[in-house]
A and B are shown apart, each in its own frame.
Chain A
Amino acid sequence: MSRVLWLASLVALLTGCAAPTLYSWGQYEDLVYVTYAAPGKAAAEMQIEKLEQDYQQARAANKRVPPGWHAYLGYLYVQVGKVDEARRELETEKAEFPESSVFVDRLLANLKKL
């Protein structure tokens, strides 16, 4: 495990050297990948847990999470039947990125039908 952490920090160091990023990315894109590449290992509960951890790290680093992030988390919460959490995340996406409002309003409308 410590070897993994070491590798991860080296990756962060190497990629971090290029330029400061606008967002804290965490595992968002890796989880999207796993969803398609190994659906059996991409349970929504596991993804939610990892994303919530990433969110704490982003807050600690005083960085924003990327566009689409809250909408994706909301979509995962829908899958596990947590409608209130899903709504909260979708509303956050809209507040953080007004460009998402047409799409998010559509997703929120679908949520009401559940």
Chain B
Amino acid sequence: MNFVLTSLLSAGLPALFAGVLWFLGGRFHRAHLWLSAVAVGGGMMLAYYLALGKPAFPTTDAQEWVFWYALGLIPLGWLMGIAAPYRWIAGWGLVLALPWLFVWLFVPLMRSEHWSLTVGMTWILVFGVGLAAMALGVASAEARLTGWQMAFLLALVGGVSAGMMFYGAKSSSFAQLAGALGLVVGIAVPVGWGMRSFRVGQGAVAMLVVLYGILWAIGFAYGQLQAPYLAVFALCMLAIALGARGASGWRFVVPLLLILLIGGGAVGMSYQTYMSASTGYE
């Protein structure tokens, strides 16, 4: 089969799968929290399978955790959706759980002596605690935006992530995964546009932030993404979390402009660097 066509299918099928679940979640409000968590986690798992094949368990390759984390996050995302009114439970849950995700992800780099124990532990804490704060901040902004607006902003972050994975981290497969995750949530935009009552859900939003964060972490730790570029992801998340607290007319526009400016600028810079060093390799 054509290479481009198969690549498009590997991103399109997860989006289609998620689209059906977003639609059902919009229709059946009782099952919404569960369906939205499955849309994100299942969409990511499908994207991984189509891009990289079936992962091993127990994993030998740290990157395979992306698949298993997407699976494990489904019940956690659902629970977080339920616990949303009790923010301190969700908050402490994330702060305590997330560093452990990065332990599994980063320990192989300490074993291979790419990182010293101190450096590895530092990054585990930075990513774990930082991502917990971002997931909480963006999830709490969910109630202040309409369903399609939140989906649109998170899809835009997917686009930025895909660009950074490709031009910054130099990983086509992780660019594909980030792009697919963007499409998984992006497909919720027309669903939300058509259904006023549609919401992404705080649990699903937190899942998306964590999954994006894991992709950026892999791009940095295993790929060639430079550490300063990690700030781009943090700023995009901050833009959504803080922007949504502004006046109602600006809640969507401000984060949108900031993501376009910061994320788009970073992708543009990475593209320039990539192309200036181009050797004709495709």
Q: Do A and B bind each other?
A: no
Q: Which residues of B contact A (CB under 8 A)?
A: none
Interface residues of A (CB under 8 A from B): none
